[in-house]
Amino acid sequence: MRQDDEQDARGLFGGVFARGRVDVSDTAWLQAMLDAEAGLARALERAGLAPAGAGEAVTAAARAKDFDPNELGQLASLTGNPVPGLARALARRVPQTAAGTVHRGATSQDIVDTAAMLLAKRAADVILADLAQAADVTAGLADAHRSSIMIGRTLLQQAVPVTFGLVAAGWLASLDEARQGLAAVRARRLAVQFGGAAGTLASLGENGPQVATLLATDLGLTLPALPWHTDRLRIIDLGAALAGVTAVLGKIARDVTLLAQSEVGEVSEGGGVAPARESRQQPGSSPRRGGSSAMPHKNNPVASIAILGCAKQMPGLLATLVSSAEQEHQRAAGAWHAEWEPLTAMLRLAGSVASWGTDLLSGLGVDSSRMAANLKATNGLPLAEHVASLLAGVLGSAQAHDLVAEAATRAVNAGLPLQDVLLSVSGLEERLSAAGITAEQIESALEPSGYLGAAGTFVTAALQAHEALKVSNG
C-alpha cells in the first residue's frame, strides 16, 4: 500500500484524530497477532517442543498482507474473537511438519493480549519520540522568555504578573512527567501473556514456564510472575499513561486557545503545511491552515483544537477499561472483549495528540510586546497584593487589604491608575510619610518586574530537570 493510500485509509476524520506515525489499524493488529504466533513457534522450537525449522517456517508465513482482516472478522462471529480463524489460516500456510507448532499451548486471549502489548510498545516508541521533541521545543520557549512578563490569570481573571517563561516551564515539567509515566509503563508493564486455557499451561506440562520465558525474551516483553488473564491492571496502567499524555497536552492546548483569542493576542499558532495533495486541488482552492469555511478573516488555532478534540475522548475510554477490569474467575465473559476497541482508540488518540503537540509548540508565536501592553492596560491593579503587603506594616494586614481593595474598585470605576487613587485617599499620605513610606515606594511596588517572586528560579529548575531527563535517557 502506498503512503498516500495508507493516509486515506485512516478515514474522514483521520487527519485530526489519527495524525502521526502510530499505527493501530486492522493490519497493524493483525501483524501483532501474527508476531505473537511466530514468537511462540520460535520459543517452542528453542524449548525442544517443535521440529527444527518450525519457528522459521511460521515466521515466514506470518505476514499480515497475506491474510484478509475482513474474512477473519467474519469468522470471529463464530468464536467471539479472530484468533481461532487466524491460527487455522496460518497453519495452512506452513509446511505440514510445522503446522502442529502453530498456536500450540496457547489460548486466544494469549495471542490478543500479547499482540496488544506489542502494539502498545510500538505506539509508545512513537509517542515518546514526539513528546521528547515537543519537550525540547518547550524548553527553548521557557529559556527564551524568562523575562517576558505577562499577566497571570486565576479563575480566568487577572491575578498577579508572571513570565511566559514560567508558563512554558510549567508545560515542560508536565510534558516530562507524562513522558516518564509512559516510559515506565513501556519498560515494566507491557508483559507477555501466555497461560493456556485456564492459566496453567497444562498442555505443555512442565515445559510451560520455560516456553513463556523464551516467548517474552523473543518478543522483548516483560515476563510476568504468572499469566494475567483476569488481572487487568496492566491495561489500566497503560490506559492511564496514555490519558496522562493527552491531559498534559490538552492543558497546553487550552492555554493556547485562551491566549490566542483576538482580544488577548499574546500567542498564535504557526501555519502548517496543508496535507492535501496539489493534484487534487482546483486552482485557487488550496486549503489554508486555520481557515474558516464561512469567515475569510479567521485564523483558528487548529492544532490546539485537534488536541482538545482528542483529549476530550480519553476519560470515557479509560473509564471503560477500568470498568472492564472486573472479570470472572479465570477468563472473562465479555469484559475482556470490551477492552479491544477503547484501548485501540486510546493508542491512536495519544499518538495523534503527541504529533499535534509537536506541531503546535514548534510553530508557536509569542508576542511579548502584546503581553506587556495587556499588562500595562491593567493600570497597576495586578500589583494590589504587593502594595497591600507594603502598607500592612503601617496599617495592619486587614486594614491594608481593605483599603487597597476599595482603592482598586474606585480605580476600576473611574478608569484611573491604582497609584493615583491610592495617593488621593484622605489622610493616607500623612500616615505613610510618618512611617517613612514615600510615593516613590508605592510606585516601585506597582512595577511588575519587582513582583515575580521565584519565577526565574522555577524556570531554571524545570530546565535542569529536563536536561537531567535527557541525560538519563541517553
- pLDDT confidence of residue 243: 98
Q: Is residue 40 part of a domain?
A: yes
- Candidate from 65-79, 149-163, 421-435 with smallest mean pLDDT: 421-435
389 and 367 both lie in a single domain: no
- pLDDT confidence of residue 274: 39
Cα angle, residue 96 at apex, residues 92 and 97 outer, rounded to 5°: 135
Q: Is the pLDDT of residue 294 over 90?
A: no
- Candidate from 60-64, 121-125, 275-279, 391-395 with smallest mean pLDDT: 275-279
56 and 153 both lie in a single domain: no
User: What is the domain range of residue 409?
Assistant: 381-445
- Candidate from 120-134, 328-342, 382-396 with smallest mean pLDDT: 382-396
Out of 104, 128, 156, a domain closes at 104
Q: Is residue 5 part of a domain?
A: no
Beta partners for residue 151, in sequence order: 161
pLDDT tens column, 245-280: 999 999 999 999 999 999 999 999 985 433 443 334
Name the domain count of the chain: 3
Residue 131 cell numbers, joined:
513528546
394 and 266 both lie in a single domain: no
Alpha carbon distance, N-terminus to C-terminus of the chain: 35
Q: Mean pLDDT across the stretch 354-376? A: 96
Q: Mean pLDDT across the stretch 303-330? A: 97
- The residue type of 54 is A
Reported residue count of the chain is 474
146-177 core/surface letters (b: 16 or more CB in 10 A; e: else) = bebbbbbbeeeeeebbbbbbbbbbbbbbbbbe
- What distance in Å separates the CA atoms of residue 322 and residue 347, rounded to the nearest whole number? 16
Q: Is residue 84 part of a domain?
A: yes
Question: pLDDT grade, residue 6 (50/70/90)?
Answer: very low
Phi and psi at 241, nearest 5°, equal -65, -40
Q: Is residue 414 part of a domain?
A: yes
CATH code for the domain of 30: 1.10.275.10
- pLDDT confidence of residue 3: 43
- pLDDT confidence of residue 393: 82
85 and 191 both lie in a single domain: no
Give pTM, 2 decimals: 0.91
Give the residue numbers marked as catalytic.
Answer: 292, 331
Average pLDDT for the chain: 91
Q: Is residue 268 part of a domain?
A: yes
Q: Is residue 14 part of a domain?
A: no
Q: Mean pLDDT across the stretch 132-140? A: 98
The residues near 224 (Cβ < 8 Å, ≥ 6 apart) are: 191, 192
189 and 256 both lie in a single domain: yes
Residue 410 cell numbers, joined:
474606585
Out of 82, 104, 126, a domain closes at 104
Q: Is the pLDDT of residue 20 over 60?
A: yes
Q: Is residue 16 part of a domain?
A: no
392 and 428 both lie in a single domain: yes
**Chain centroid offset of residue 47 CA:** 40
- Candidate from 232-241, 360-369, 396-405 with smallest mean pLDDT: 396-405
- pLDDT confidence of residue 281: 45
- pLDDT confidence of residue 435: 73
